[in-house]
């Protein structure tokens, strides 16, 4: 018999968080999150996402053992401002038993019907900066800190239950040796002269912090035209600033500014924490912190996390300036592999940025959708 219980207390939420640790215990491609980090994300007082979202955490049990988990989410900015009558689900993990999947999803349907919403979509998080998508290709590739890992049967369960693919995302990789500076050096010089732009590099996190709010404002403007985008609020900016910026090497944050020192483009690249997180196994102490610190300083793999360009500067090759700066930084640090985090498969403009690097799509993931009517 399958029972569904809501996780509310800290102890229950820890059990919710740790279920995939057990499910993928012997899987070398699973990257466990930091337990404290997940707990903070689920804290409705700490995480400003809950100013415009509500979420409920459920576990499925058989014989008093957890066999699945799910989060039912409503992003009210999406529902009210964009008129998307959608209930989301995320943090979905399950054993290969479609009845467990069905029982967990029923809790999502209940929330959606309670608020007269039209459809369900997932897996996805509270906002655009959370993890997204169920893996459909690339199961033999190691995960990252900003994606979920799952077995192939997840997608099979959804399809058997009448879900259809809604959005597809791709993840790509390329060796740094593929980067040939002749592809962007000429454009870099031309763009800087024509539009009176210059790069802005950093040596310390302290130098970055005063400009982070401007960066997020630019991020909101850059992605506003995407149908899936929900803008980041001022309180979310503060939250992400404190939570993530110190994790990123300041040398891996690049801005392009105009003659009046306004930011017109930015990019954030992160060192790969994959191996460090696997060693930490969810725990920051006593040694997890040291593994992460070592990865920050020594990792030879990097992830292109975010890139944004003001709409009026898009299609003007401003990214050539960014690529030139990264080329110099990566060459100095001996970077070996470059990875791109999930991007919409139909975002042709973004995909076109990387056409000279001979990228290889090594993973695909998607969200699934089903009508509630």
- How does pLDDT run across 187-208, given as a tens digit for each residue? 999 999 999 999 999 999 999 9
Mean pLDDT check: name the lowest of 114-118, 155-159, 351-355.
351-355
Does pLDDT of 211 surpass 90? yes
What torsion do the CA atoms of 229, 128, 373, 6 make, to the nearest 10 degrees? -160
Query: What pLDDT does residue 122 have?
Result: 97
Query: What pLDDT does residue 227 have?
Result: 65
Query: What pLDDT does residue 7 have?
Result: 98
Query: What pLDDT does residue 73 have?
Result: 98
pLDDT-based confidence at residue 127 (cuts at 50, 70, 90): confident
Query: What pLDDT does residue 295 have?
Result: 95
Alpha carbon distance 93, 19 (integer Å): 8
Query: What pLDDT does residue 138 have?
Result: 98
The stretch 73-82 carries a mean pLDDT of 93
Query: What pLDDT does residue 21 have?
Result: 98
Mean pLDDT check: name the lowest of 52-56, 94-98, 344-348.
344-348
Alpha carbon distance 33, 19 (integer Å): 12
**C-alpha distances in Å from residue 171, one per residue of 133, 193, 314:** 11, 34, 22
Domain spans in the chain, listed from the N-terminal domain onward: 6-168, 174-362
Token pair recorded at residue 268: 């954030």
Closest CA to 90 of 35, 17, 5, 9: 17
Alpha carbon distance 102, 108 (integer Å): 10
What's domain 174-362's superfamily in CATH?
Gcn5-related N-acetyltransferase (GNAT) (3.40.630.30)
pLDDT-based confidence at residue 175 (cuts at 50, 70, 90): very high
Closest CA to 338 of 181, 172, 184, 174: 174
Contact 57, 13 (CB under 8 A): yes
- How does pLDDT run across 131-158, given as a tens digit for each residue? 999 999 999 999 999 999 999 999 999 9
User: What average pLDDT does the structure give for the chain?
Assistant: 94
**C-alpha distances in Å from residue 362, one per residue of 21, 173, 174, 344:** 24, 7, 10, 14
Query: What pLDDT does residue 356 have?
Result: 87
| CATH numeric code, 6-168 | 3.40.630.30
In this chain, the answer to whether the domains covering 6-168 and 174-362 adopt an identical fold is yes
Q: Percent of the chain at pLDDT above 70?
A: 99
Query: What pLDDT does residue 245 have?
Result: 86
Please provide the DSSP assignment of 217-271 as one string: HHHHHHHTTSTT--PPPHHHHHHHHHHHGGGS-GGGEEEEE-TT--EEEEEEEEE
- How does pLDDT run across 251-299, given as a tens digit for each residue? 999 999 999 999 999 999 999 999 999 999 999 988 999 999 999 999 9
pLDDT-based confidence at residue 226 (cuts at 50, 70, 90): confident
The stretch 338-347 carries a mean pLDDT of 92
Query: What pLDDT does residue 81 have?
Result: 87
Contact 112, 76 (CB under 8 A): no
Query: What pLDDT does residue 108 have?
Result: 98
Please provide the DSSP assignment of 70-85 as one string: EEEEEEHHHHHHS---
Using alpha carbons only, what angle is made at residue 300 by residues 298 and 301, rounded to the nearest 5 degrees? 125
Token pair recorded at residue 224: 């506003």
pLDDT-based confidence at residue 129 (cuts at 50, 70, 90): confident
Does pLDDT of 124 surpass 90? yes
Query: What pLDDT does residue 240 have?
Result: 85
Query: What pLDDT does residue 110 have?
Result: 98
The stretch 27-38 carries a mean pLDDT of 97
The stretch 223-247 carries a mean pLDDT of 81
Using alpha carbons only, what angle is made at residue 358 by residues 352 and 361, rounded to the nearest 5 degrees? 80
pLDDT-based confidence at residue 308 (cuts at 50, 70, 90): very high
Contact 71, 90 (CB under 8 A): yes
Does pLDDT of 311 surpass 70? yes
Alpha carbon distance 166, 346 (integer Å): 12
């Amino acid at each position: 018999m399958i029972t569904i219980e809501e996780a509310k207390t800290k102890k229950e939420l820890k059990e919710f968080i740790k279920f995939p640790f057990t499910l993928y215990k012997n899987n070398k491609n699973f990257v466990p999150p930091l337990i404290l980090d997940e707990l903070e994300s689920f804290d409705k007082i700490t995480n400003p996402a809950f100013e415009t979202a509500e979420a409920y955490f459920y576990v499925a049990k058989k014989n008093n053992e957890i066999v699945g988990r799910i989060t039912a989410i409503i992003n009210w900015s999406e529902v009210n401002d964009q008129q998307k009558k959608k209930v989301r689900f995320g943090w979905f993990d399950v054993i290969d038993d479609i009845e467990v999947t069905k029982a967990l999803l029923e809790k999502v349907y209940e929330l959606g019907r309670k608020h007269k919403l039209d459809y369900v979509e997932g897996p996805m998080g509270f906002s655009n900066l959370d993890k997204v998508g169920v893996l459909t290709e690339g199961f033999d590739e190691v995960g990252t800190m900003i994606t979920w890992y799952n077995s192939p049967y997840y997608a099979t369960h959804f399809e058997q239950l009448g879900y259809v693919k809604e959005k597809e995302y791709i993840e790509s990789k390329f060796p740094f040796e593929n980067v040939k500076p002749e592809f962007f050096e000429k454009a870099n010089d031309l763009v800087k002269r024509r539009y009176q732009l210059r790069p802005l590099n950093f040596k310390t996190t302290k130098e970055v912090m005063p400009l982070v709010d401007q960066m997020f404002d630019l991020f909101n403007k850059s992605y506003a035209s995407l149908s899936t985008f929900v803008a980041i609020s001022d309180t979310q900016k503060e939250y992400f600033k404190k939570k993530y910026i110190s994790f990123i090497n300041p040398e891996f944050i690049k801005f392009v500014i105009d003659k009046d020192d306004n930011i017109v483009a930015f990019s954030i690249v992160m060192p790969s924490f994959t191996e460090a997180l696997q060693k930490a196994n969810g725990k920051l102490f006593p040694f997890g912190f040291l593994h992460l610190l070592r990865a920050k300083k020594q990792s030879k793999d990097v992830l292109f996390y975010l890139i944004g360009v003001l709409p009026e500067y898009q299609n003007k090759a401003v990214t050539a300036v960014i690529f030139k700066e990264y080329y110099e930084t990566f060459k100095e640090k001996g970077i070996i592999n470059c990875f791109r985090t999930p991007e919409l498969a139909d975002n042709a403009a973004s995909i076109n940025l990387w056409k000279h690097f001979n990228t290889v799509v090594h993973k695909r993931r998607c969200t699934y959708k089903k009508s509630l009517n």
